[in-house]
């Protein structure tokens, strides 16, 4: 059995994550003039289910506990990831579900918010064992109507990925043979061969990159200590899993940013000239840790990697990474919340007092749910996204080829015409769709802050924009 690791930073107080989200909510509500009772209706979590089940493994019965919380059903289905973590609890799941409601509303996706967790350390179990546990968990969720294409649609989160989503989808399908045509839409983040969509795995990291681009390219923002050239910036990343790895990869390989520190739960690695991100990932996959990487200095057991001076700090691991105990020691110009809830309410205020700009989680990490939405739509419509775009490009490119023929008076070579027709692949559409949502959502936050400077920061502006939409939806249906 593998060594047991907790997700919590060593010196972090035990999560006051739900309290922080409540306080952000309450703060934002002071800028909104909502009718009596509506604010409480929006803030409160609608329901949280605890599921307990046993699975016979290794010759004995093991008991597991998990949660699925539904924060708001003002739009259905509700949507949100499922995490596998030894530190999970009901409060954490409720806070994450509330953030999902806000995130979907902010990005104008037709979903309410939900979230789930199973209290488990995945590395304690073999793959076949994990599969049995995940399938049993899915049965428990299905029995209570907590999974289904039109009611509640999970996705990957910390400790889960496309493998777990494939198991969940398969289990749901078996239980619902009469609705097999729609059942692939019961979860998103599936492998491509099981109805997944190209670009979902890296979507959240890609969204983090687009969020940073949107911020730096907006002349209304202060940039990072007045600078806007990502190619000249030092970046520190905490958490080298799905989100942290992809964000680091795109920022370094495509934008030329230097990833100077990567921090993990067993310590951190640093290289002032920039870490080769892909090589570091291969090292982590091969050895189970980022430590000991040959192109870096390793600091084993040291959780202060995020305190190293940098231009941009990207916490991409877990909630409460920056708290009252370490906020004064953060030396970044911009903090980009790739994880959910990485700053406690107090830490957020402490950074604001020191002039450190924060891009909030409900905007920064929305890329995952945006691309999940594309996947869900495609599973329900059964139309491959590339198809129509390919037809459009074919028509356009035939027209260009015909025009060239006319201009030159020579036939356009058939093999070149074929090459010309390549493209329109799903990944291009997913990426441009995601970029469009991230940019338009940024414009929405920036416009609101410009119109209402009393909101002061991007988080409050994002909360106010989001809550206004939810309030309008509740008022339309009557609470
Ligand atoms: N996966 C998604 O699509 C998605 C979407 C939106 C938000 N998020 C959020 O992003 C965060 C990371 O999710 P993920 O999917 O990348 O998870 P993951 O499990 O793939 O990676 C998390 C990484 O963080 C590391 N970690 C855990 N505790 C740590 C600690 N105390 N210090 C440093 N590193 C630590 C883990 O070892 C792991 O490598 C979570 O807050 C999650 O809710 C994920």
Could you read off the pLDDT tens digit of each residue along the chain, which spans 479 residues?
333 444 444 444 545 888 999 999 999 999 999 988 888 888 889 999 999 999 999 999 999 999 999 999 999 999 999 999 999 999 999 999 999 999 999 999 999 999 999 999 999 999 999 999 999 999 999 999 999 999 999 999 999 999 999 999 999 999 988 888 899 999 999 999 999 998 989 999 999 999 999 999 999 999 999 999 999 999 999 999 999 999 999 999 999 999 999 999 999 999 999 999 999 999 999 999 999 999 999 999 999 999 999 999 999 999 999 999 999 999 999 999 999 999 999 999 999 999 999 999 999 999 999 999 999 999 999 887 665 555 566 666 667 677 777 777 777 676 666 544 443 467 777 888 999 999 999 999 999 999 999 999 999 999 999 999 999 998 887 75
- What is residue 3's predicted lDDT score, i.e. its pLDDT? 38
Of the residues 115, 190, 249, 258, only one is catalytic, namely 115
How much distance in Å is there from the Cα of 160 to the middle of ligand 1?
Answer: 10
Minimum CA distance residue for ligand 1 atom 28: 7
Q: In 130-220, where do the E strands start and end? A: 152-156
Is residue 368 in contact with ligand 1, taking CB distance under 6 Å? yes
Judge contact between 66 and 51, C-beta under 8 A. yes
- As a whole number of angstroms, the distance between CA 24 and CA 281 comes to 35
H helical segments located in 180-241: 180-183, 203-217
CB within 8 Å of 72: residues ≥ 6 apart:
42, 46, 78, 101, 112, 113, 470
CATH of 48-196, one of 3.40.1190.20, 3.40.50.10860, 3.40.50.880, 3.40.190.10: 3.40.50.10860
Cis peptide leading into residue 77 (ω within 30°): yes
CB within 8 Å of 47: residues ≥ 6 apart:
69, 70
- As a whole number of angstroms, the distance between CA 397 and CA 269 comes to 49
Taking alpha carbons only, the member of 55, 57, 265, 261 closest to residue 159 is 265
For the CA of 189, the closest atom of ligand 1 is 3
Judge contact between 333 and 256, C-beta under 8 A. no
Domain segments of the chain as ranges: 48-196
- What is residue 403's predicted lDDT score, i.e. its pLDDT? 72
CB atoms within 10 A of CB 416: 11
Q: Determine phi and psi for 307, rounding to 5 degrees.
A: -90, -5
How much distance in Å is there from the Cα of 317 to the middle of ligand 1?
Answer: 4
CB within 8 Å of 349: residues ≥ 6 apart:
none
How much distance in Å is there from the Cα of 158 to the middle of ligand 1?
Answer: 5
- As a whole number of angstroms, the distance between CA 230 and CA 21 comes to 30
- What is residue 238's predicted lDDT score, i.e. its pLDDT? 98
Q: In 360-464, where do the E strands start and end? A: none
Q: What six digits make up the tokens of 431?
A: 């990426």
Is residue 107 in contact with ligand 1, taking CB distance under 6 Å? no
Q: Which residues are annotated as a binding site for NAD(+)?
A: 204, 242
How much distance in Å is there from the Cα of 7 to the middle of ligand 1?
Answer: 9
- As a whole number of angstroms, the distance between CA 295 and CA 252 comes to 15
- What is residue 8's predicted lDDT score, i.e. its pLDDT? 45
For the CA of 203, the closest atom of ligand 1 is 3
What letter would DSSP give residue 124?
A: G
Catalytic annotation on 410? no
Angle, in degrees to the nearest 10, between helices 242-253 and 277-287? 150
Q: Vertex 52, ends 172 and 10: CA angle to 5°?
A: 105
Is residue 263 in contact with ligand 1, taking CB distance under 6 Å? yes
- What is residue 386's predicted lDDT score, i.e. its pLDDT? 60
């Amino acid at each position: 059995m593998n060594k047991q690791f907790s997700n919590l930073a060593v010196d972090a107080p035990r999560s006051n994550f739900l309290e922080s989200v409540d306080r952000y909510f309450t703060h934002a509500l002071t800028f909104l003039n909502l009718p009596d009772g509506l604010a409480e209706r929006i803030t409160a979590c609608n329901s949280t289910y605890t599921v307990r089940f046993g699975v016979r493994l290794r010759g004995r019965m093991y008991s597991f506990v998990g949660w699925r919380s539904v924060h708001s059903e003002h739009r259905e289905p509700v949507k949100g990831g499922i995490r596998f973590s030894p530190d999970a609890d009901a409060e954490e799941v409720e806070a994450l579900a509330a953030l999902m409601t806000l995130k979907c509303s902010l990005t104008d996706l037709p979903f309410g918010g939900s979230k789930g967790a199973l209290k488990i350390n995945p590395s304690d179990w073999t793959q076949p064992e994990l599969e049995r546990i995940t399938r049993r968990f899915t049965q428990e969720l299905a029995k209570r109507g907590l999974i289904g294409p039109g009611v509640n649609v999970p996705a990957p989160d910390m400790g889960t990925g496309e493998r777990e989503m494939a198991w969940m989808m398969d289990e749901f399908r078996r239980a619902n043979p009469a609705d097999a045509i729609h059942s692939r839409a019961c979860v998103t983040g599936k492998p491509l061969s099981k109805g997944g969509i190209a670009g979902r795995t890296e979507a959240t990291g890609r969204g983090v990159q687009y969020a940073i681009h949107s911020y730096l390219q907006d002349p209304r923002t202060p940039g990072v200590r007045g600078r806007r050239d990502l190619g000249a910036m030092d970046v520190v990343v905490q958490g080298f899993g799905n989100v942290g790895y992809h964000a680091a990869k795109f920022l370094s390989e495509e934008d030329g940013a230097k990833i100077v520190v990567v921090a993990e739960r067993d310590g951190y690695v640093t290289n002032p000239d920039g870490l080769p991100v892909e090589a570091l990932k291969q090292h982590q996959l091969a050895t189970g840790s980022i430590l000991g990487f040959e192109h870096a200095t390793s600091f084993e057991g040291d959780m202060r990697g995020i305190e190293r001076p940098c231009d941009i700090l990207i916490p991409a691991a877990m909630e409460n990474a920056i708290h009252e105990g370490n906020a004064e020691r953060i030396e970044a110009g911009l903090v980009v919340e790739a994880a959910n809830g990485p700053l406690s309410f107090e830490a957020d205020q402490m950074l604001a007092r020191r002039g450190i700009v924060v891009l909030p989680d409900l905007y920064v990490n929305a890329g995952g749910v945006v691309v999940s939405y594309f996947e869900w739509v495609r599973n329900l419509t059964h139309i491959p996204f590339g198809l129509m775009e390919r037809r459009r490009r074919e028509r356009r490119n035939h027209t260009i080829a015909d025009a060239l023929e006319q201009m030159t008076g020579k036939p356009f070579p058939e093999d070149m015409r074929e090459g010309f027709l390549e493209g329109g692949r799903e990944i291009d559409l997913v990426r441009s769709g995601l970029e469009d949502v991230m940019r338009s959502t940024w414009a929405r936050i920036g416009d609101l802050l410009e119109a209402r400077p009393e909101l002061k920061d991007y988080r409050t502006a994002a909360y106010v924009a989001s809550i206004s939409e939810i309030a309008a939806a509740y008022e339309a249906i009557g609470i």
